[in-house]
Amino acid sequence: MTTTEQPQHFPCPQCGAELNWDPSSRTLSCDFCGYQQAVGADERPEDFARPAIKERDLFAFLQESQAQKAHGYGVETKSVKCEKCGATVSVDPKVTSTECPFCGSNLVLEQAPDEALIRPESLIPFQVDRETAVRRYREWLGKGWFHPGDLKKRAGQSRIYGVYLPFWTFDAHASSDWRAEAGYYYYETETYWATEDGKQVQKTRQVRRTRWEPAWGRHEQFYDDVLIYATQSVEPKLLERIYPFDTSKLVPYDPRYLSGWQAEQYQIGLEEGWKLAEKRIKDKERDACAKQVPGDTYRNLQVSTRLSKVTFKHVLLPVWIASYPYKGKVYRYLVNGQTGKIYGEKPISWIRVAIAVVVVLIILAIVVYFLTRGGGGGSMGWLLLGAV
């Protein structure tokens, strides 16, 4: 694949309409005449007999010239950038107006495609279809009583978008040498003076002491598919709620999977992504080394980690996103497009919370009243009720 490759179209051989990836049939299909075309393993099973997902050597790749790399998505798209939250999304060129899937804003402006964008090498195709995503969204919106009454009406108007989110995944072998002082607890009997009945008396007590001894060791581990979300359009904390993605189900990138879907462009580049992954791996190594220190406690832990066999993949993972503003704040609802796991944020109605508290107190007071009435303590119940 070279940069001169022409973007592709996927017209329907029967009627000429554009074919789109359909998660329910797992085919490229035509909305107009129902034609279906197999993609990937279903089309050429012989190519998929062994895992075809390549891990690339990170440092060799960073040395390569731009011309050697595959760029873009290999399919005709246009890029739109959200003026409000900064997310840049590739959309179908036929789409004339759109709103930002990440913040619901319609301040989106068309942008020239980013020539330097590294092409994804693999992805997990959408498996949850729109109908399912929308149905779950509506069910979820209706759940719970502590939310504003107009929530369903307001949030129900926001659209739900199927977006491929960009990730870097890194593999690395970590080897960590550590040294520390290992602390062993022991107890000593100490004598001290105390005042008892106005007299000075000598007493004893057990005191914990620590004996420090030098210690050292090595920890080795292979890290597989450390996942780094390559933008900040969805807060990582929120995104982690719909993890995991089963990355063993990645398929080689094929632009046909993107047909009819949006793809967010990465904003955290490969080198920056690696820095984040490196820190995450080194933090984990430090924790693992700390656990190896013998004794009851430790101090002055020094860890030196070497990382080798570092490889990466640029992957796209499927997520359904609905973003709806409520009283000036944007709330999000996410569906893992592979597993269907959902997570969403809802505003809280404090008036409803207050009403619920009052109702609970009244019920409690009534219960107390009936329990105490027989024993002549009825006034106690009325007192409580009065307090409510």
Please give the residue ranges that form the binding site for Zn ion (CB under 5 A): 12, 14-15, 17, 30, 32-33, 35, 82, 84-85, 87, 100, 102-103, 105
Nearer to Zn ion, 14 or 304 (CB): 14
Nearer to Zn ion, 87 or 250 (CB): 87
Q: How far is the CB of 16 from Zn ion (least distance, A)?
A: 7
Q: How far is the CB of 89 from Zn ion (least distance, A)?
A: 9
Q: How far is the CB of 9 from Zn ion (least distance, A)?
A: 13
Nearer to Zn ion, 12 or 180 (CB): 12
Taking alpha carbons only, the member of 269, 273, 265, 314 closest to residue 112 is: 265
Nearer to Zn ion, 103 or 368 (CB): 103
Q: How far is the CB of 100 from Zn ion (least distance, A)?
A: 3
Token look-up 């609970």 returns: 360
- The secondary structure of 134-183 as a DSSP string is HHHHHHHHH--SSS-TTHHHHHTTS-EEEEEEEEEEEEEEEEEEEEEEEE
Q: What are phi and psi of 269, to 5 degrees?
A: -70, 175
Q: CA–CA distance from 156 to each of 82, 134, 333 (Å)?
A: 22, 10, 12
Taking alpha carbons only, the member of 132, 120, 142 closest to residue 54 is: 120
CA atoms within 13 A on the CB side of 180: 25
Nearer to Zn ion, 102 or 164 (CB): 102
Q: How far is the CB of 87 from Zn ion (least distance, A)?
A: 5
CA dist 334 and 129 (Å) reads 14
Taking alpha carbons only, the member of 234, 236, 235, 230 closest to residue 267 is: 230
Q: How far is the CB of 35 from Zn ion (least distance, A)?
A: 4
Taking alpha carbons only, the member of 332, 335, 270, 325 closest to residue 134 is: 335
Nearer to Zn ion, 101 or 344 (CB): 101
Taking alpha carbons only, the member of 267, 264, 245, 255 closest to residue 124 is: 245
Nearer to Zn ion, 30 or 250 (CB): 30
Which residue stretches of the chain are H helix? 58-63, 130-142, 151-155, 236-239, 270-292, 350-373, 378-387
Nearer to Zn ion, 17 or 385 (CB): 17
User: How many of the other CB atoms lie within 10 Å of CB of 375?
Assistant: 8
Helices (H) and strands (E) in the chain, counts: 7, 15
Q: Which residues of 156-165 are buried (b: 16+ CB within 10 A; e: fewer)?
A: eebebbbbbb
Nearer to Zn ion, 105 or 372 (CB): 105
CA dist 355 and 353 (Å) reads 5
Q: How far is the CB of 128 from Zn ion (least distance, A)?
A: 23
Q: How far is the CB of 371 from Zn ion (least distance, A)?
A: 56
Distance of CA 224 to the CA centre of its chain: 17
Q: How far is the CB of 107 from Zn ion (least distance, A)?
A: 8
